[in-house]
Amino acid sequence: MKRVYLIILISLAVLVSLAAYVLVNFIITPRPEDILANVKNQFKVYSQVLKENELIPKKYTVEGYDISPPLKWSGIPSEAKSLVIVMYDPDAPSGIFYHWILYNISTKVNSIDENVSKTSITPYGFQGLNDYGNVGYGGPYPPEGSKHRYIFLVLALDKNLELKPGVHYSEVLKAIRGHVIAYAKLMCFYER
């Protein structure tokens, strides 16, 4: 009888472990800090309109024109095969809110202009669905009376992503896990 209970307990432990593995690797969207956990190499990202730890100009928010800001970067590793841009709000009441995902950017590109079209295929690469449910950039719009952080990441990958244009940001984040070889980060704020 003890042997039967032991077999049942071991079987349950294996099932729980397998379920946890499936959740973490295939269902739950990885958080940016998890994606960057073991990435040591960094490069630079900057913008003539965004400054580290300063407010995002209203023009680039839902209250303004809701257009993407220009970004530039330098120092990507020579072994990088493609780039990804992610913009997110880690302070959203419901958890991380993803505002923008632009992927399969050529490593020959070192900047993007203001107001990238809100289409799945752009001159820079592919755009995916954000948390607003739209393709492309969706500007900041924190709850009334709050100040949120908005983080822009430029990620250098060791491969091109085999994803179609217009996929949900979660698909991109799952696909880049384990393939980020360097990153750049710019953090700004917006408040209402």
At 178 the pLDDT is 95
Please give the pLDDT value at position 23.
44
Q: Are residues 21 and 39 in the same domain?
A: no
Whether residue 23 is found in the same domain as residue 3: yes
pTM confidence score: 0.86
Q: Are residues 128 and 157 in the same domain?
A: yes
How does pLDDT run along the chain (192 residues), one tens digit per residue?
Answer: 677 665 666 666 555 544 444 444 445 789 999 999 999 999 999 999 999 999 999 999 999 999 999 999 999 999 999 999 999 999 999 999 999 999 999 999 999 999 999 999 999 999 999 999 999 999 999 999 999 999 999 999 999 999 999 999 999 999 999 999 999 999 999 999
Residue 42 DSSP one-character state? B
Cα-based distances in Å from 169 to 29, 50, 68, 99, 103: 9, 23, 17, 9, 10
Same domain, yes or no, for 37 and 96?
yes
Q: What is the CATH number of the domain that holds 182?
A: 3.90.280.10
Report the distance separating Cα 9 and Cα 168, nearest Å.
Answer: 38
Q: How many domains does the chain have?
A: 2
Is the same domain home to 74 and 40? yes
CA 76 to chain centre: 17
**Backbone φ and ψ of 58, nearest 5°:** -55, -30
Look at residue 13 in the predicted model and tell me its pLDDT. Answer: 55
pLDDT at 28: 76
Q: Do 48 and 23 lie in a common domain?
A: no
pLDDT at 22: 44
| Residues 11 and 39 reside in one and the same domain | no
Domain boundaries, position 48: 33-191
Q: Are residues 43 and 125 in the same domain?
A: yes
Residues 6+ apart with CB under 8 A from 46: 71, 72, 73, 186
Do residues 123 and 100 share a domain? yes
